[in-house]
Amino acid sequence: MSQFNTISVLGLGYIGLPTATVFAQHGLNVIGVDVNKHAVDTINQGKIHIVEPDLDIAVHQCVENGKLRATLKPETADAFLIAVPTPFKGDDYEPDLSYIEAASNAIAPVLKKGDLVILESTSPVGATEQMAEWLAQARPDLTFPQQTGEDSDIRIAHCPERVLPGHVMRELIENDRIIGGMTQKCSAQAVALYKNFVKGDCIVTNSRTAEMCKLTENSFRDVNIAFANELSIICDRLDINVWELISLANRHPRVNILQPGCGVGGHCIAVDPWFIVNKTPDLAKLIHTARLVNDGKPEWVISQVNNAVVEILQQNPTRSVSDLKIACLGLAFKPDIDDLRESPAVKITEKLAEKYQGQVIAVEPNVEVLPIKLANKDIQLGKLENTLEIADVIVLLVDHKEFKVSNNISENIKVIDTKGIL
């Protein structure tokens, strides 16, 4: 029998909603809290406002059997999990902890002795201690781990999330979890909570190491993708097929190069390394350079499109730039999902639409309408088959499964394939 009867999850997005739902599926009473009324209303109708396989049925069942409900305002619970956004502030990549601060201030009035507060949001080193400080300021009548250690009234831990969008419902249960308590007892309580459903190992460390662990995982991927992206640009200059090169090099028993692409996006790999660079700018040189290499790749892709346009016009002197159609295949930040946040494919498509006004068609099988900022740039959302018939330049930006089927692409069409699948 779990020591937790009711838990509350703050932030019902891509991480919070699946997490809340899995707890509810495992018998806990779950109160989801979000500041977005549309999300709260949708969930209370047993529906979902995001795309994640198997989540809709699970939410429907949990709402119907009364184990999950959503609200705008926190209520008392035995444990609180905070899964709110952690973006940057402004353009200098300083982490924005204001969402964590707002969530802390929202739960502070309903905290009671014995409660556990877990920060799940990806956070810079020290954020969990900062959250504990905000809670302590709001509730001077309770004690916190930074004040009284193991005797504290409130337990606090950082437990980062490392699920893969598209596989969240399975990975939440199967993945190992890093549990970074501010004290041993904080960790022990967090392990007890996650063991309600986690089949992977729950590995205990302190909160700072847990924060750095999540950032390290994504920085490792970013640095290795930057290596592949740099190779792709070098190979283009040297007239070498980078895909063949990487597959040959990977025949070495101790070499495993990742695949290049049009850049690096999403809410994690393109963001988290900056949390390390921002904290230790004089030391994090390789991590910083990798960010610059990956962020520079979209500009390189755009220059390839511009070169293709020049070639078409040279080969067809009767045509003019304004007749040409440019097809951008894929907008999401990675294959087979609908998440367009921080997507380099979106950035490339937008910039092309600014230069080639009214001539850009985006094909994104995972969305039904384009976000307003893209529609405002006169970008059309096209179907794959129709678009391939009218395009003069095709830029493959994301390796969605729909694009992998062999398509009949006419030889006259210029193809820039950033994923090597066409």
Ligand X SMILES: NC(=O)c1ccc[n+]([C@@H]2O[C@H](COP(=O)([O-])OP(=O)(O)OC[C@H]3O[C@@H](n4cnc5c(N)ncnc54)[C@H](O)[C@@H]3O)[C@@H](O)[C@H]2O)c1
Catalytic residues: 214, 268
The residue number whose beta carbon is nearest to ligand X equals 13
In contact, 227 and 257? CB cutoff 8 Å: yes
Nearest distance, CB of residue 59 and ligand X, angstroms:
14
Of positions 39, 79, 231, 309, contacts ligand X by CB under 6 A: 39
Nearest distance, CB of residue 218 and ligand X, angstroms:
9
Of positions 53, 85, 126, 149, contacts ligand X by CB under 6 A: 85
Measure the CA–CA gap between 135 and 117, rounded to whole angstroms.
10
Of positions 83, 117, 210, 363, contacts ligand X by CB under 6 A: 83
Of positions 21, 122, 175, 206, contacts ligand X by CB under 6 A: 122
Contacts of residue 253, defined as CB under 8 A and 6 or more positions apart, other chains included, come to: none
Nearest to 164 by CA among 155, 154, 174: 174
In contact, 4 and 81? CB cutoff 8 Å: no
Nearest distance, CB of residue 102 and ligand X, angstroms:
4
Farthest-apart Cα atoms in the chain, separation: 81
In contact, 242 and 249? CB cutoff 8 Å: no
Nearest distance, CB of residue 99 and ligand X, angstroms:
4
Nearest distance, CB of residue 41 and ligand X, angstroms:
12
- Site map (CB under 6 A) of ligand X, residues 191-230, x = contact: ----------------------------------------
Considering only the stretches 83-91, 133-141, 201-209, 281-289, report the one whose residues sit in contact with ligand X under the rule CB under 6 A: 83-91
CA angle 334, 340, 345 (to 5 degrees): 65
Burial 222-245 (b: 16+ CB within 10 A, else e): bbebbebbbbbbebeeeeeebbeb
391 part of the interface to ligand X, by CB under 6 A? no
| DSSP H or E segment with residue 8 | strand 6-10
Nearer to ligand X, 155 or 267 (CB): 267
Of positions 7, 12, 193, 370, contacts ligand X by CB under 6 A: 12
99 part of the interface to ligand X, by CB under 6 A? yes
Other CB atoms within 10 Å distance of the CB of residue 200: 13
Considering only the stretches 30-38, 124-132, 280-288, 369-377, report the one whose residues sit in contact with ligand X under the rule CB under 6 A: 30-38
**Strand 155-158 versus strand 177-181 pairing type:** antiparallel
